[in-house]
Structure 1
C-alpha cells in the first residue's frame, strides 16, 4: 500500500512540476489556400460603334478580293492563370476554318476559307489547334494575345452573310 502511495505521490509531483520542463520555443503552423484561377476572355472593337464586343464584322472587300487578305488585330484574347504547372489554349472553328452562308453546311462551295493569326502565328482551323502552351508559371499571369485572320478571298462568292464561330478554350495543366 505504501508503494502505491509513493507512486501516486511521485506521479502527482511530475504532473505539478511539468511546467518546469517547458520548451524555450513553440511553433504555430499557418495554412491557407489560394484557389485555382484559370480563365479566358476576349474583346473585339466594333469598327462602326467603337464598342467592345465578342464579335467582329469583316469588310466585304476582304471576302471577295482574290488572293490572301490579312486582317490584323480584330480582337484580343486575355489568358489568365495561376496554375504552377501552366496551361494550354486551343482554338476551334464551328465550320473548320470556313466562313459559310449556311450554318449546317461547312462544305458549301461558296464558302470562304481563312486561317487564324494568334499572336502573329498562323493556325489552320480545319481542326482544333493549340495556340498557347505554357509549361510553368512562377506567379499569376494574364497574357494578352492578338487575333487576326488570313482570308482567301473568293471573287465568285454569292451574295449573303458569311459566318463562323471560333471558340478559345483554356485548360490548366
Structure 2
C-alpha cells in the first residue's frame, strides 16, 4: 500500500482517528510538534507493527559491488524472529492525506513528511492487509534474524544506505 501522487499516508493500528493534531512524540529528537506521514518511497518502512524493531537496507549510488553481497536482490527489511507472530497478525491501517500541508523531513535525505497544522484524513482508515504479501509483491526481502544488531553493524560498516526503526525494542546485543 503506497499513496498515489499528491497524497501521503500515516500507518496506525488504530482505525478510529478522526483528526491528526501536531504533537511532540515521547521519543522525538526535536521539540517541534508534527503530524507524521510518509510518501510512496518511504511507505514500505512502515509495513510493520508500530513497535516492531527493524533494520532496512538498500543499495545507493555509492554502494560498492562487494557490499551488494549483503542484499539478495535489492532492498532488505530485517526483523527478529520473535516479531514474526505480530507481523503476521497485526491489523494495520493507512490514513490518506492530501500532501499539500506536508513538507519533507530529514537531512541529508528526507525520510518522512510532516505537517505543522491539524489535518483530516481524506476518508476512513483503510486496512493495509497481509504485511508479508505486501513485501513480496514489491520485491522487498523480509529477512528474519535472531538478533538485529549483527545485521545492523554489518550494514552500518558498509556502503549501503540504511535505516533502523524502533531499535530500542530490539533484543539486546549479544
| TM-score, normalised by the number of residues in structure 1 | 0.19
Q: Which has the higher helix share?
A: 2
Q: Which has the higher strand share?
A: 1
Larger radius of gyration: 1
